[in-house]
Structure formats: structure tokens, C-alpha cells
Structure 1
Amino acid sequence: MNRLLKKSSVIIKQAFIALGLCCVDLPVAVAQIDSLSENYSQPKYGFHHKVFRIEYVAPTVFMTYGLMSIKNPVVRSQVMNIKLELQRNHPKKFPVDDYSQYMATAAFLGLEYAGIPAKHNLKQRLFTGSVSHIIMGSVVNLMKQTMPVMRPDGSAQNSFPSGHTATAFVGAELLWQEYHDRSLWYGVAGYAVAAGTGFFRMYNNKHWLSDVAMGAGIGIMSTKIAYWMLPMLDKQKRIIPGNYLLVPTYDGKHSGISLLVNL
């Protein structure tokens, strides 16, 4: 365990250095966002809203880093060094990531039944949960098919991006959106589990750091788009009849989400 913690600290440090390669202009970007947003007064989910714009910086940075890793030799070298550091004297695998990817989504759906009210009602949460997973799954599968990258363990050429990480960060952002107004710790816990999922995808030699970064960005961005689309649900007055349940699924190779409806 001590060895794992030591490795974690080293990898986290190197990961921040690597991510810094594509973040050098971030303060300028944020300043421009602040300047532009002062001239607008838009609805909460509008693209010109100040908070909306700033919140999109993080997933954009993650995805930019992921894309840079494909062609940029400096980033690729950093990704390889992190992989080698993780696999040095590697004792054994911890397949906890196969299950932790769903934990935040489960909390997003279940906390209300534990007596902790969510920000939106069940119909709205089913909408955002479904849309975010559909967007995430579509983007991840499309990129895996069109941008083949060999996994670190050489098992397949579908490493980029990490689907497990994308799923985990969808859940983390869903949890953040629904519960951070009640307590920041709900969102922090969700993102901690998602980050842990990404780390163990690398530790278990299934993904590169760039895969994890891209997956995180896709997961966060997919959920933010889903919440931006939420007003469409009320405008069209779409009603799902009867009893319904949103259930994450995993068959050992593929992950997804199922909507069960009792008509």
C-alpha cells in the first residue's frame, strides 16, 4: 500500500506537469472570458453566461491535452514516462475501476431515496443522465473506431479515449450539478472517485494518461451539454409515463446505460 501511495504521488505530480504543457495560455483565456461575459446578460444555460464559459475551460483543456498526445512528441514522451513509472515493480492489478466508474451515477440517482433532495426532479435527472451518457458513449465509441491507439498492455487498438474514465466523470459531473449547492463534498467525492477510476485504468496498464484525460474531458463536457439542453424538456413538455429506472450496465467488455419503463 505504501508503494502504491508513493507511486500515486509521483504520477500525480508528473500528470500536472504534462497537463501544464497545454495550459500556458489558460489565464489569458479566462481573462478574455470574463471580459466578454460582462457585455452579455443571458439565461443561466446560455453560451455567453460567465459561469457557463469558465466551467467549460477544464474539459476543453483535458481534451486538448488528449489530442495533443497523438502528434506532439513532447507530450507523447511524458505519457510514456508516466506509464513506465507506474509499471515499475508493479506488484499486482486492482480491478476496482470496473466498478468505481458507476459509483457517482448510482449516487446521483439514489441519494434522494436516502432523504437528500436533488436539485432537479426525477424526470429531469433521467433526461440529463440519459443524454449525457448517450453523448459520451457516442463520442467515445466513434473515437475508438476512427483513432486507433494500442493499449499499454498491447491487448487491443482501442485505447483512446478511456470509456471507463468518461463514464466515471459523467457520473461525477451529474453528482456535482445536482448536489453541490447542498454540500460541496458531494461533488468533491464524485470527482475523487472519478479521478481514482482514471488512475487505476493507468495503474492496471489498460490506458495511457492521454486516454484518461480525453475520457475525463468528454465525460464532463457531455454532462454540461445535457444540462444546457435541459430547458428543452420543459418547453416540449415531454412526459415519461409510469415507473422508470435508469440502470448502468456492463457485460465485461462494454459499458452502457439502460432505461427501464413500466408502461
Structure 2
Amino acid sequence: MSKNYFTFLATLILFFNFSQRGLTQVKDSVVIDSISSKKPVIQVTNRKSFKSFLPGIAAAGYGLIALTGGPLKNFDHYIAEKRNERRPNFNTYADDYLRYVPFVALYGLEALGVKGKHRIADKTGLMLLSGVLVMGSVSIVKKATDKERPDHSDFVSFPSGHAAIAFAGAELINQEYGDISPWYSVAGYTVASATAVLRVYNNAHWFSDVVAGAGIGILSTKVAYLVYPPLKRLLTGQKNLRLSAAPFYQNHAAGLSIAGKF
């Protein structure tokens, strides 16, 4: 890849990792306590916890502003032109797999004995809820905006679903393991940023598409952490889900088996 794209990747990593951690050291801890503590705690999020949403809001807002034209849309075309000049025939399927790496890492760290903020059952619940939110949001916005891809293949360019999924997973890693070591957050956001770069480099998305997708992914996970505790109590009537999860491989297909009592 060219130097410009390495700069692009580094910028995404720095923005999403250090803005998430530097803007406020308070994640969604008041909500997390209501999941993990022995007695449910219901508190109103304070101003600092709201600030943790700002990077995601800014990224999603960037994409929406670019839809209206002006300098941001011109920058989209500038990036696309540079890509076409330097790597017109570039194509890879790596981004199709990279977007899921943070989710795999969530279970991989658990298997290695690295304990996050929640047990595996609650991590699974948070992951599933985040996935529903991110895919629902992406699908609705794609249909509403009807934006053509830079390769002219269809009209579902905005926002990038790959970037949204990858950054939703990165934010899960950040929420669960970021307080243990910031390098877990850096690793998650590095993979997500690489996914976003490859979507642009594959000529599948404009720059603003992947930035907006990143914002939607982050916000989806943050909302999942907010609504998961009351939703779980509403659906199960109990604090802790009795779930077990185990990977399996059968007939050349891999998957995750989840069983439990509700």
C-alpha cells in the first residue's frame, strides 16, 4: 500500500483509540455495574460518560455531512482518484474476514484466561445485541441514502457495513479489556481500521462511507451496553443469564454453540 494509506490507517487508529480513552477515562461503567455487581445498580449516566459517545457521533456526522456535498464529498473523490491512479487493479478478500476478528478475539481472550468485565454469557448477549443494532442501522441508512459505490456496482455504498461491524467489535474489546491494558484497545481498533482502509482500497466505498460506518459501529456497541441490563432483566427476570458457549468444528464448518436456561 502507498504511504498515504498507511497515514490513513494510522489516523483512524489514533482518532478512535485515543479519543475513546483520552476524551474521558469513564466508559459506560455506571451501566456495567448493573450487569456485573451482586446488586443491580441503576444510575443516571453523567456528563463524562456522555462524552464517550462523541467520537462515534462525530464519525457518523462526518459521513452525513459528506452526503450533502462540499469539501468532504470532494475529499471522497480525491481519495478515490488517488487509489485509481496508484492501484487501479487492487483486489483482496481480506476485509471480509478481518471485520470479524475482534469478535473472535473476544472469545479467544476468554479461552486464554484473560477475564474481561463480564462473564462469557453476558459478553455473548452484548455482542448479539450490538450486532442487531449495527446491522439494523446500516440496513436502514443504506436504503434511505441510496448512494452509489465508487466502482458503480450498486447503490448501497453508505455507510460501510464492513467498517461498522469491525468497529462494533473493536469497541466491545475496548469496553471489556481496555481497562486491563490499552493495548487490547489498540489491537482492536487497528484491525477495524485496516478493514476500513481495505474497503476504500478495494474501491467498494468512499472515504466518508467507512468513517460513518466506524461511527455507527462504535455507537451501536455503546448503546448495547446501555440497554442490555434492563433488557436482560425484562426478558429473563434475573440478573445473570445461565449460558454456556463452546466452539465446534463439524463437516468442514466452524461455529459457536450456545446453550442455557432462560
- TM-score range (shorter-chain normalised) is 0.7 to 0.9
- Number of the residue aligned with 2:162: 164
- Number of the residue aligned with 2:185: 187
Q: Secondary structure at the match of 2:173?
A: helix
- Number of the residue aligned with 1:178: 176
- Number of the residue aligned with 1:108: 106
- Number of the residue aligned with 1:128: 126
Which of the numbers 50, 60, 77 marks the counterpart of 2:57? Answer: 60
- Against the structure 1 CA distance between its residues 125 and 13, is the aligned structure 2 distance closer, same or farther, given a 3 Å change threshold? closer
The alignment covers a number of residue pairs equal to 231
Aligned counterparts, 1:190-209, within 5 A = 190-209=188-207
- Against the structure 1 CA distance between its residues 176 and 11, is the aligned structure 2 distance closer, same or farther, given a 3 Å change threshold? closer
- Against the structure 1 CA distance between its residues 63 and 78, is the aligned structure 2 distance closer, same or farther, given a 3 Å change threshold? same
Q: Distance in 2 between matches of 1:261 and 1:228?
A: 24
1:77 aligns with 2:69: no
- Please tell me whether the aligned partners of residues 131 and 165 of structure 2 are also in contact (alpha carbons under 8 angstroms): yes
Q: Distance in 2 between matches of 1:75 and 1:164?
A: 21
String of CA shifts for 1:4-54, please: whole Å, max 9, x gaps: 1413146569989xx9xxxxxxxxxx8xx9xxxxxxxx9823664233111
Q: Which has the higher contact order (CA 8 A, sep 6+)?
A: 2
Aligned counterparts, 1:202-221, within 5 A = 202-221=200-219
- Please tell me whether the aligned partners of residues 120 and 245 of structure 2 are also in contact (alpha carbons under 8 angstroms): no
- Against the structure 1 CA distance between its residues 259 and 128, is the aligned structure 2 distance closer, same or farther, given a 3 Å change threshold? farther
- Number of the residue aligned with 2:140: 142
Which of the numbers 45, 50, 71 marks the counterpart of 2:47? Answer: 50
TM-score with structure 2 length normalisation? 0.78
1:151 aligns with 2:149: yes
Q: Secondary structure at the match of 1:230?
A: helix
Q: Percent identity, aligned pairs only?
A: 31
- Number of the residue aligned with 1:27: none
Q: Which runs of 4+ in 1 moved over 6 A?
A: 13-16
TM-score with structure 1 length normalisation? 0.78
1:237 aligns with 2:238: yes
The alpha carbon displacement at 1:120 in A equals 0.5
Q: Distance in 2 between matches of 1:54 and 1:183?
A: 21
Q: Distance in 1 between matches of 2:125 and 2:9?
A: 34
1:88 aligns with 2:88: no
When the two chains are superposed, the root-mean-square deviation of aligned CA atoms in Å is 3.2
The alpha carbon displacement at 1:94 in A equals 2.6
- Against the structure 1 CA distance between its residues 211 and 187, is the aligned structure 2 distance closer, same or farther, given a 3 Å change threshold? same
Q: Secondary structure at the match of 2:91?
A: coil
Which of the numbers 224, 232, 240 marks the counterpart of 1:226? Answer: 224
The letter for the 1-side match of 2:238 is K
Could you tell me which runs of 5 or more consecutive residues in structure 1 were left unpaired when the two chains were aligned: 20-29, 34-41, 248-256
- Please tell me whether the aligned partners of residues 9 and 193 of structure 2 are also in contact (alpha carbons under 8 angstroms): no
Q: Secondary structure at the match of 2:30?
A: coil
- Please tell me whether the aligned partners of residues 15 and 209 of structure 1 are also in contact (alpha carbons under 8 angstroms): no
- Please tell me whether the aligned partners of residues 160 and 211 of structure 1 are also in contact (alpha carbons under 8 angstroms): yes
Q: Distance in 1 between matches of 2:239 and 2:181?
A: 30
The letter for the 2-side match of 1:209 is F
Moved more, 142-151 or 229-238: 229-238
- Please tell me whether the aligned partners of residues 97 and 200 of structure 1 are also in contact (alpha carbons under 8 angstroms): yes
Q: Distance in 2 between matches of 1:180 and 1:13?
A: 19
Q: Distance in 2 between matches of 1:242 and 1:58?
A: 33
